[in-house]
């Protein structure tokens, strides 16, 4: 069974990531409006009926902006740290909120979601990997420093969303105020291109097929530059920047093969509540 994955959006203007198999899927974060997530999933040919749960990394607005409306409209359980939920000041459906903690394994149908804590300037932030049939996809964004937990999880992933937030020189020479530069580079802010590249070069498993560079800064990074830097050392791993303006193609990875291009989808052949994956 394959795992399918796409970035619905990635950046400080909103984050949302989709990972699923043929029958069920999860979203990591809902930082866009409910309507915009629905529109982008429709363009990809993804059925919202396949989404069975939402996992929240932390309480910053670019990760939870559309959560309340989306979760209530589609009657979805939300997995979120109790501390994060309290800090978020969200109002979710009682009974549909489930706490997460460090090093949990949560079953969503045939998917297994692994949780682990990370360094970020939030109340209780988490990263996730999603596993099915021995295939694993990681969502690693909003991380201030590479730690042993991140390394150990990254080594197990066939595909990953990996933060490459800023170019050190662009940030240092840019217009951000000093306190914001300190926050970003503090070890509880974001990963630089250099930090992400070192993780990729030193710990990429031989079986990693896809790397989606994520949460790039609008002002302190260059998507063309960072993508080219990673591609130079990627070998057979497919590399693409996850855009802050639109969804990426839908990718998949399985035991037998993987696909780097979007599959063909004709909306005229489907109605919204019957959308499914065709490859």
- What radius of gyration do the chain's Cα atoms show? 18
The band of 269, judged by pLDDT with boundaries at 50, 70 and 90, is very low
Q: Percent of the chain having pLDDT more than 90?
A: 90
User: 108: Cβ–Cβ under 8 A, 6 or more apart, which residues?
Assistant: 24, 26, 52, 53
Is the pLDDT confidence value at 243 over 80? yes
Coil vs helix vs strand at 77:
coil
Q: Percent of the chain having pLDDT more than 70?
A: 91
For all residues of the chain together, what is the average pLDDT? 92
Is the pLDDT confidence value at 278 over 70? no
> CA-CA distance, 76 to 66, in Å (whole number)?
13
Enumerate the domain spans of the chain.
3-249
When pLDDT is averaged across residues 153-174 and rounded to a whole number, the result is 98
Question: What is the per-residue pLDDT for 258?
Answer: 52
pLDDT digits (tens, 9 = 90+) for 42-54: 999 999 999 999 9
Q: Are 5 and 252 in contact (CB under 8 A)?
A: yes
Q: State which CATH number among 3.40.190.10, 3.60.15.10, 3.40.50.12280, 1.10.1740.10 fits the domain covering 3-249.
A: 3.60.15.10
Q: Give the distance, in angstroms, between the CA of residue 46 and the centroid of all CA atoms in the same chain.
A: 16
């Amino acid at each position: 069974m394959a795992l399918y994955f796409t970035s619905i959006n990635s950046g400080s203007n909103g984050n949302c990531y989709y990972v699923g198999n043929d029958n069920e899927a999860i979203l990591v974060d809902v930082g866009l409006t409910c309507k915009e997530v629905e529109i982008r999933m429709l363009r990809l040919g993804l059925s919202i009926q396949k989404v069975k749960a939402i996992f929240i990394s932390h309480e910053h607005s670019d990760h939870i902006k559309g959560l309340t409306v989306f979760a209530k409209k589609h009657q979805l359980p939300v997995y979120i740290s109790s501390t994060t939920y309290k800090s978020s000041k969200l109002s979710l459906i009682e009974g549909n909120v489930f706490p997460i903690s460090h090093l949990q394994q949560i079953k969503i149908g045939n998917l297994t979601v692994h949780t682990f804590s990370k360094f970020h300037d939030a109340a209780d932030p988490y990263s996730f990997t999603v596993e099915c049939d021995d295939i694993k996809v990681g969502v690693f964004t909003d991380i201030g420093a590479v730690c042993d937990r991140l390394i150990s999880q990254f080594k197990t992933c066939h595909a990953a969303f990996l933060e490459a937030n800023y170019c050190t020189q662009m940030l240092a020479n840019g217009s951000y105020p000093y306190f914001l530069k300190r926050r970003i580079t503090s070890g509880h802010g974001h990963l630089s291109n250099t930090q992400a590249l070192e993780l990729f070069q030193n710990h990429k498993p031989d079986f990693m097929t896809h790397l989606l560079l994520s949460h790039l800064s609008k002002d302190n990074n260059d998507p063309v530059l960072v993508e080219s830097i990673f591609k130079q050392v990627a070998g057979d791993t497919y590399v693409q920047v996850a855009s802050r303006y639109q969804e990426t193609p839908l990718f998949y990875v399985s035991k037998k093969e993987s696909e780097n291009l979007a599959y063909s989808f004709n909306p005229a052949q489907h109605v919204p509540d019957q959308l499914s994956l065709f490859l």
